[in-house]
Structure 1
Amino acid sequence: MACSASTCQSNCYRNEEHEDESSLPSPKSIANNGNHHGLCFKCKTNRPMSSSSGDGERFCGDCFRSNLFSKFRQAVTSNAMITPTDNVLVAFSGGASSRVALQFVHEMQQRAQKNFEASMDRSLPVFGVGVAFVDESAICSVPSCEVSQGFEEIRDIVSNLAPPTKELLIVPIESVCSSESNDGKDQLRKLLDAVTDATGKEDLQAHLRMLSLQKVASENGYNRLVLGSCTLRIACHVILATVKGKGYSLPADIQYVDARWNVPVVLPLRDCLAAELNMLCHLDGFKTTEVIRSPCTGINGLVSSFVKLLREENPSRESTIVRTAGKLTPFHFNRIPEINDSNVPLATRRRQKRHNLKPNESISSESFCSICNSPLSRSDLLSLGNVETCHTNSVVFSAECCSSCQFQILPKDPVLVENFRTLLPQTLLSQAKHSKADNLSLLRAQIQDCLLSDAQDDET
């Protein structure tokens, strides 16, 4: 009677079992065979790049670049960020993220230009592109020679781009405080000196930077503002907003589109890793520059170091943070306002309507912090309603700010708060005045059912 592998007592099958096991491919060899013996995952021809950055281990140089540009283009087209009639302003800081954003916007413009020249009816116009750099040398101790050299490098980067040419706007950050009587430098320094908290001072400086970009965009006819915020920057912001008590307004800052500003802000690199952007600059030889780069301190510095440590241990963690926060319900202004212009192609308007948020998929908010422009929660509005009867401007102004700005930016002394308010740029004060009117209207609408009419008042 023949024996089997399960009943054999003489171990005659044992060697055959070992031979069969040794002939099985290892998991690593299976991966290599699926990847055509270590070739590029996409083209199956070239060797992949040897790097630890995102897709660098799977793609060759050409496919890596093509995949990264596809992420950018998918974000732009899916969220209707740029239409043929737009005038786009790219915020350029000199770093790798803003450099890639500028390059990709430039390539989209080039392709649109070629399509325009090849078309017979010239029905699709080509969107315009400008570049803005915020000069913060007035509040940073940087030698003037280094600043001048940095400006020249930025001019070279922009001028070396192939046609169509780009307008370069260098905006002094003190311009938000300037008037006919002064250049704004002294007022800006006094404003920042009034903030004693290191984190609050950095946050205020970031708000002023955004105001500067909004101002130059509005004054020069731009209707889109492109920021080069990548996954790392957004992941840091997610944790920062959480620890600063700004969880309610967090969804507003991490979406592809933020139209609460006069000029809508778009983030086309939201899904791109910082390591990927650095790798692309290295591969294509994109020149970057650090004109004014001061390290973060306080809470901002701690969170930045923490997220970078997480990324070193596992490069996908920054993406995990952003994807998790992306599940939060966005606000109604996290979309491009619908276009009714007949000059805009019908396909563009349909795409925008298809990808825009539905009313039941968003949170409505018409009230914003007087300093950072963050949306205020209902509890913030109720607190504001409780102090509206107070005649002290400083108390009312503090109530019009979010809890984070109250704690980290505003002085604790009411007298100093009033002085701080007078140092704020006029754009912020006018915005606060408009927001206050909206707050009162919203509060009245919320308590309308509890109010007595004039007839009921006479009866009582």
Structure 2
Amino acid sequence: MACSASTCQSNCYKDQPDEHDPDTNSVANRNISNGLCLKCKTNPPISSSADDSRFCSECFRANLFGKFRFAVTSNAMISPSDNVLLAFSGGPSSRVALEFVHEMHSKAQKNFDASRDRSLPVFGVGVAFIDEASVYSSPSNELYKAIQEITAIVEELAPPAKQLYVVPIESVYSSECGDGRERLKRLLDAVTDPTGKEDLLLHLRMLALQKIASENGYNRILLGSCISRIACHVITATVKGQGYSLPADIQYVDSRWEIPVLLPLRDCLAQELNMLCRLEGLKTVELIRSPGTGINGLVLSFVSLLQEENPSRESTIVRTAGKLIPFHFNRIQEIDDSNVPLATRRRQKRYNLKPNECFSSESFCFICNGPLSKSDLLSLRNLGQCQTSPDTFGAACCSSCRFQILPQDPSLLDQFSADLPQQLVARAKLDNLDNYRMLREQIQDCLLSEGEDET
């Protein structure tokens, strides 16, 4: 019979520390490192939780930056000829991402200046902040102060300078007729499900980032999503029935968008990023927003509770989900550029994902851009090819968006589609044509050939 530290009678737990006693854990860690950093064995460790106290502040930062740099280099996220747009929200995750990208940017510039032939260009970096005041109705003075603080953070970075874009989320309507703010308000008001409204806002935020990158010559978008956020997404996607598209959202690279999206902080915990901001005095910006009231808010509270009980829970969730087979677009295409060092190209070939092509999908939900499963494609079989009827419009969505975002009343769908950004409506029409063209090929295993009966 298995024993535990509290019931053991054979003294096998005699020298083992009590895992529930924080004082015992602290003593054990100090005994292991003799009161010094486990890495450099020179400086005293930082004093916080047991996990963080293993390293001194310098080694702690080096460890985090090493995770970031390894993710960037092993997945070929940034090449010398790229222009990277960093999505900056003002929080600790995006603040650390900005600091690390800036460090890589500065080092590349110094190497360029020191080289004689200057053969390798220096990648460009821009910063984008999406202003969502029209959604959350923040006081104008608080928003102005936040934007001023964000501007100061970017401007105070050492050269090379980085362009800052402060763009309202209703800019997704900028090239269309009508008041974008009013259309956005009507669009969000039409979504009655709280979770659906939060998800739609998330999709519009990505659409705004894509628009900024496309109009200003950026070919990469970098997000500050960390393990903690990805762990929440794993559970929310499972609850919402987005299991098929889940592998697409949790990889280091997502190239299904016109501008590929990068997640170089995928291996870092939110607790670690918060700690680094405190240790280095990295200024963050707190934006007042209403807490989530739907599935997203519940899962966030649930995962936070799990993390308090066991600091490895978030990593376990992401590591388990990472065993899912990725899609073919979850990687940067192999680099064939003479300006890119040979070592970078070799590293890309070594670490690039080897997806199972039978799981590839070229059909996407026109709202969330999630890959459509075969069951979603089968719902298109009896619909008209060039129509934009409510049924056809809904069939271009994944089941989650169809249930949580689209109005359930067909009579309201016309107004809803009229308030959507034109890019999404155009994507729906285009995807419908592509879906019908590719439907037979993608569901061939589910169809009967001519002259073949069901037996």
Q: Same fold (TM over 0.5)?
A: yes
User: What SS class does the counterpart of residue 382 from structure 2 fall into?
Assistant: helix
> What are the within-5 Å matches in structure 2 for residues 14-413 of structure 1?
32-35=30-33, 37-52=34-49, 54=51, 56-179=52-175, 181-360=177-356, 363-388=359-384, 393-413=389-409
Q: Is 1:424 paired with 2:452?
A: no
Moved over 6 A (4+): 24-30
User: What SS class does the counterpart of residue 385 from structure 1 fall into?
Assistant: coil
User: What SS class does the counterpart of residue 134 from structure 2 fall into?
Assistant: coil
Aligned equivalents of 1:346 and 1:293: distance in 2? 46
How many equivalent residue pairs? 429
Aligned equivalents of 2:172 and 2:65: distance in 1? 35
Larger CA deviation: 260-269 vs 290-299:
290-299
Kept after mapping to 1: 8 A contact 2:223/2:262: yes
User: What SS class does the counterpart of residue 133 from structure 1 fall into?
Assistant: strand
5+ residue gaps, structure 1: 1-20, 454-460
Aligned equivalents of 2:29 and 2:240: distance in 1? 44
Aligned equivalents of 1:113 and 1:389: distance in 2? 52
> Which residue is equivalent to 1:4?
none
| Superposition deviation, residue 437 in structure 1 | 2.3
Aligned equivalents of 2:286 and 2:164: distance in 1? 17
> What letter matches 2:48 in structure 1?
S
User: What SS class does the counterpart of residue 387 from structure 1 fall into?
Assistant: coil
| Superposition deviation, residue 354 in structure 1 | 2.9
Kept after mapping to 1: 8 A contact 2:74/2:352: no
| Superposition deviation, residue 302 in structure 1 | 0.5
Deviations 1:63-104 (A, max 9, x none): 101111001001111111111111001000000000000000
Kept after mapping to 2: 8 A contact 1:339/1:349: yes
5+ residue gaps, structure 2: 1-10, 18-23
Kept after mapping to 2: 8 A contact 1:99/1:288: yes
Larger CA deviation: 113-122 vs 162-171:
113-122
Aligned equivalents of 1:31 and 1:172: distance in 2? 48
Seen in structure 2, the aligned counterparts of structure 1 residues 30 and 152 have a Cα distance that, compared at 3 Å, is closer
Seen in structure 2, the aligned counterparts of structure 1 residues 442 and 314 have a Cα distance that, compared at 3 Å, is same
Kept after mapping to 2: 8 A contact 1:53/1:276: no
> What letter matches 1:163 in structure 2?
P
Deviations 1:204-246 (A, max 9, x none): 0000000000000110000010000011100000000000000
> What letter matches 1:215 in structure 2?
K
Kept after mapping to 1: 8 A contact 2:326/2:356: no
> What letter matches 1:242 in structure 2?
T
| Superposition deviation, residue 353 in structure 1 | 2.8
> What letter matches 2:122 in structure 1?
V
| Superposition deviation, residue 332 in structure 1 | 0.4
- The alignment's TM-score, normalised by the length of structure 1, stands at 0.89
- The alignment's TM-score, normalised by the length of structure 2, stands at 0.89
Aligned equivalents of 1:84 and 1:349: distance in 2? 12
| Superposition deviation, residue 47 in structure 1 | 1.2
Deviations 1:338-393 (A, max 9, x none): 33334333333333233222353772100000111100001110112233479661
User: What SS class does the counterpart of residue 169 from structure 1 fall into?
Assistant: strand
Seen in structure 2, the aligned counterparts of structure 1 residues 174 and 280 have a Cα distance that, compared at 3 Å, is same
> What letter matches 2:114 in structure 1?
A
Kept after mapping to 1: 8 A contact 2:150/2:285: yes
Aligned equivalents of 1:176 and 1:104: distance in 2? 29
User: What SS class does the counterpart of residue 252 from structure 1 fall into?
Assistant: helix
Kept after mapping to 2: 8 A contact 1:80/1:336: yes
Deviations 1:280-333 (A, max 9, x none): 000000000023533111111100000000011111100000000000000000
Aligned equivalents of 1:76 and 1:392: distance in 2? 42
Kept after mapping to 1: 8 A contact 2:327/2:355: no
User: What SS class does the counterpart of residue 365 from structure 2 fall into?
Assistant: coil
Larger CA deviation: 341-350 vs 123-132:
341-350
User: What SS class does the counterpart of residue 225 from structure 1 fall into?
Assistant: strand
> Which residue is equivalent to 2:4?
none
Deviations 1:107-131 (A, max 9, x none): 0011111111222221211111000
- Which residue of the other structure, out of 402, 410, 414, is the alignment partner of 1:414? 410
Larger CA deviation: 352-361 vs 334-343:
352-361
Query: Identity of counterpart residues, as a percentage?
Result: 69
Seen in structure 2, the aligned counterparts of structure 1 residues 121 and 174 have a Cα distance that, compared at 3 Å, is same
Larger CA deviation: 322-331 vs 356-365:
356-365
Seen in structure 2, the aligned counterparts of structure 1 residues 135 and 452 have a Cα distance that, compared at 3 Å, is same
| Superposition deviation, residue 53 in structure 1 | 6.9
Q: Which has the larger radius of gyration?
A: 1
